[in-house]
Each structure stands twice: as C-alpha cells, then as structure tokens.
Amino acid sequence: MPRLLRMPGISADAEEVVFLEWCSTVGSTVAAGAAIATVETEKANVDIEAEEEAVLWRTLIEPGDAVAVGAPIAVLAGVGEDVSDEGGVLDSLGLATTSTADAAEHQVADHDNVEERDNVEERDNVEERDATPKPTEATAPSPAADIGVGAPRANGRLFASPLARKLARDNDIALAGVMGTGPGGRIVRRDIDLARAGRAEDRVSQSSASQPREAIGRQTAGAAEFVDIPHSGMRRAIARALTASKQNVPHFYLESTCRVESLLEMRETINNDSQVRISINDFVLKAVGKALMDVPEMNVVWTDDAVRRFSTADVSVAVGGDHGLVTPVLRSVESLSLSQISGHVRDFVDRASRGQLKQGELEGGSFSVSNLGMYAVERFAAIINPPQAGILAVGAVREGPVVTNGLVGVGSVLTVTLSADHRGVDGVVAATWLKRFTALMENPALLLA
C-alpha cells in the first residue's frame, strides 16, 4: 500500500525547514538508509533517509519550499507494487487528484500546529483572487500569457510556495504582480527576490525623475554601490542566538598570555616525524579538554532548574564556511590524541565548506573555541554560544617581551580571552580554569600524558 512520506523532526527546536532538493527521481527505487531528499535547517543541510526500500512514486513539494515538520512531502510505493490507479491511490491517502504543485499547496494543513498559517494562507488566496484583474475583451490574455505575471490556475488561485508567500507578505509584495518561474508557473523564492530587486530599481527611477539633472547622476551612481543579500536561515539563526546571548547571558571576561616556545618546538618535532600536520589550534583544543577535566566546575551549562555538569569534554570548534559560522562539536577531546583532533577538525572544515555537516554534530557541548590567530588578530573577546558556559578566543602567536629570572627578553606569546557565563561559573572558577589552561599550554608535555 503506498504511503505518505512526512517531514521528520530534524532537531528539537526546528518546526520548519527549507526543502533543497530530491536526491532521487520520481519512479526510482530508493534503498533503505539511502538519502531521498535534502533540507536546510537553520544550522545545517540534512539528508532525509528512507527507512525501508521503496519507490519514489510522487513528490509533493518543490525546491525552495518551506515545509513544516510532519507535513507530507512525497508518496512512496512498495517495490513492484501496482500503482496504476492514480486516482484511487491519491484518494486513499487523502490527496485530491490534482497536480503535484496543487497537492503541495495543501501540505501544511496536515500539521496539527499550523492551523493559524492555513487561515492566513487562505485569506491571502482570497485577497489575491480579488486583486487579480478580470479578463475583458480589451485585456484578455493571449495563449502565451497562460503562465506569467500573476497567472492564476483554472480555479482562480495563484500558486506560490509557502516560503514565497511569507517573503511576499514580509515585503508587502502582491503575488498577482509576480512572474512565476516554478513548475506550472508556480511562484517560488527566487521570483520574490527578483520582485524585490525590481521594486528597488523602480523607486530609484521614480526618485531620479523628480530631481535636478545634476542630482540624477549622483542618485544613480549611489544606487549601484550596494546590493541587498537576503538573509539565509543560518544567518538568521546566528543573529538570533548571538543577540539572545548578549541580552540574557551575563558575560565576564578574563585574559591570559601564554609563553609557547616549548609548544612550538614540540609541534615542529611532531610534524617532522608525522604525516599528520598538527596546528597550534590542535594544542589549544587538547589543553581546553584537559583543563575542563581538571576543573570540572567549568564543564557545565546553565539550565532553568540546575547547573548541568558533564563527565566528558565536548568542545565546539568555530568554523567559518560559505553558509556562515558553524560550531561542530568535538566529543571527548580529553581522550583524543593531537593527530585525532587534527583529523576531526580538518574534516569539519571540509564538510562545513560544502554544507554537509550533520545536525547532531552541531548540538551539545559545554565550551567553544574561536581562533582568529591565522588572521593576525592578537586578541579579541567572543560571544558565548548558549547554553554553553564559556568560549575561549585565541589570538595569534607573536614575539613579545617576556621576563625570565628578572631579565627582560623576547619570547613567543599567545593571548587568549575567556568569556564566561556568570550564572553558572563564578569568577574564581573561571580564573582557576584559565590558570590551568595556561599551565598546560606552557608545559605541552602534559598534553601527551
């Protein structure tokens, strides 16, 4: 019996995702455990895997659609199953015998928690029908205009993806005036983006027409000097999380300067004898993990009911990618060797650049490390990644004045800044942890024990 494939819950805080692409074509057989589709959450791209071998019989959504968790996205049939009675199959699943795009228009209604959105969407449909010009003898559309600006279907409705509708509402754009480029003239996100860009150009043109000739050149030149880049889901998530962190988490900051001549010598020795290149950041991550084990009061997160202390050091690594800053979690850092840490971090960086980090790799951890030393930044303070208790900002190794036995000389130093959550971590605890971290960095042999 064919069955509906519904959007699974991707993460605890994701009620809606953006559909990116189908990994299989309609009519193909998908093996159990194989990726059937890819969606974008606010943190990462996630593959939806088939629970059992099945045939992708019909798709109900298109790339660019915003889809609620629990909404139907496809119809799956058993391998070799007779699905020749298309109408009967659709009726048995509660789907009208309409086109794929028509079925997608009603997908949100299957989710118990989005009744309000259905009401808003239905109201929008009524407004769009009312706003659509009635064809007259003078304005009757030609056959070539069946799919175009504001082209309605036979029932008078304008079809647009849920994401396109939301963007249109947010930007006060009438869908009746938007050219649909999706399947069957469906309006999708890129169409709204083009409409926004066109409206901005129109405003510039109208403003220029009423200005003196000498002002027109300045306005036109000025308008060409910027471009609006729509926020991605990940960028919005980063903005919300960091804003909430600064507003709700009482940050305090401690700074320490580590002498790292011994660490640099050990790193050179290891890299001369190993095929795996060890970076300074690998030493930092190892020292952070061991320090969290030595000062367990720092290895915590704040919750509404308790301070939760962890038994392993799970440390997030700040990685900049094409899709924005992500913080994959390195599990049990204290038990990993430097070469293992290096391998994991390189893998994170590679997959982050391709948007292939998994949702589970971005969740958890009690502490983060953000290293800008490769950009010659000497020191900076970072914002805590909630609900974690701290983040260590790492600057560049540089030559600086050092004192040895009362004599001033030149040495290799590294400045780090600890940002801590004062709700779960007291100043003494943070200072104790930073002192231990500094000792480990200045005596790197302890990291190999």
Q: Which of 257-261, 403-407, 408-412 has the lowest mean pLDDT?
A: 403-407
Say if residue 252's pLDDT is above 70: yes
Q: For residue 325, what are the β-bridge partners?
A: 320
Instruction: Judge if 91 and 125 occupy the same domain.
Output: no
CB 309, CB 246: distance < 8 Å: no
Domain boundary among 90, 110, 130: 110
**Non-local CB neighbours of 249 within 8 Å, separated by 6+ positions:** 384, 386, 421, 423
Query: What's the rounded mean pLDDT across residues 417-444?
Result: 97
Cα–Cα dist 188/165, whole Å: 8
Predicted confidence at residue 379, as pLDDT, reads 95
Say if residue 380's pLDDT is above 70: yes
Catalytic residue among 111, 251, 344, 422: 422
Q: Rank 211-215, 265-269, 271-275 by mean pLDDT and report only the highest.
A: 265-269
Domain membership flag for residue 368: yes
Residue 119 banded pLDDT, cuts 50, 70, 90: very low
Cα–Cα dist 409/406, whole Å: 10
Say if residue 403's pLDDT is above 60: yes
Instruction: Judge if 282 and 360 occupy the same domain.
Output: yes
Predicted confidence at residue 430, as pLDDT, reads 98
Number of domains in the chain: 3
Question: Crossing angle, helix 189-209 and helix 162-170, to 10 degrees?
Answer: 20
Domain membership flag for residue 243: no
Question: Crossing angle, helix 115-131 and helix 162-170, to 10 degrees?
Answer: 70
- The pair of three-digit structure tokens given for residue 359, joined into one six-digit string: 């949702």
Q: Is 422 a catalytic residue?
A: yes
Percent pLDDT > 90 in the chain is 39
Cβ of 248: how many Cβ atoms within 10 Å?
A: 10
Domain boundary among 48, 81, 110: 110
Range of the domain at 371: 251-448
Cα–Cα dist 449/284, whole Å: 15
Higher-pLDDT residue of 266 and 275 is: 266
Predicted confidence at residue 195, as pLDDT, reads 82
- What's the mean pLDDT when you consider all of the chain? 79
Query: What's the rounded mean pLDDT across residues 298-313?
Result: 95
Percent pLDDT > 70 in the chain is 76
Domain boundary among 62, 88, 110: 110
Predicted confidence at residue 158, as pLDDT, reads 67
Domain membership flag for residue 313: yes
pLDDT digits (tens, 9 = 90+) for 183-192: 667 787 778 8
Say if residue 104's pLDDT is above 80: no
Instruction: Judge if 360 and 218 occupy the same domain.
Output: no
Instruction: Judge if 404 and 265 occupy the same domain.
Output: yes
Cα–Cα dist 359/234, whole Å: 12
CA separation, residue 122 to residues 158, 162, 170 (Å): 11, 12, 17
CB 36, CB 53: distance < 8 Å: no
Whether the bond into 387 is cis, omega within 30 of 0: yes
pLDDT digits (tens, 9 = 90+) for 6-59: 888 765 556 677 888 899 888 899 998 888 888 877 667 778 888 889 899 889
pLDDT digits (tens, 9 = 90+) for 120-145: 444 444 444 444 444 433 333 333 33
Domain membership flag for residue 289: yes
Predicted confidence at residue 197, as pLDDT, reads 75
Q: Rank 87-96, 202-211, 439-448 by mean pLDDT and report only the highest.
A: 439-448
Instruction: Judge if 196 and 85 occupy the same domain.
Output: no
Residue 157 banded pLDDT, cuts 50, 70, 90: low
Q: Which of 294, 326, 327, 328 is nearest to 313 (CA)?
A: 294
Higher-pLDDT residue of 289 and 167 is: 289
Instruction: Judge if 201 and 345 occupy the same domain.
Output: no
Higher-pLDDT residue of 109 and 332 is: 332
Predicted confidence at residue 43, as pLDDT, reads 66
Query: For residues 193, 195, 200 and 204, what is the CA-based torsion angle, rounded to 10 degrees?
Result: 150
CB 262, CB 443: distance < 8 Å: yes
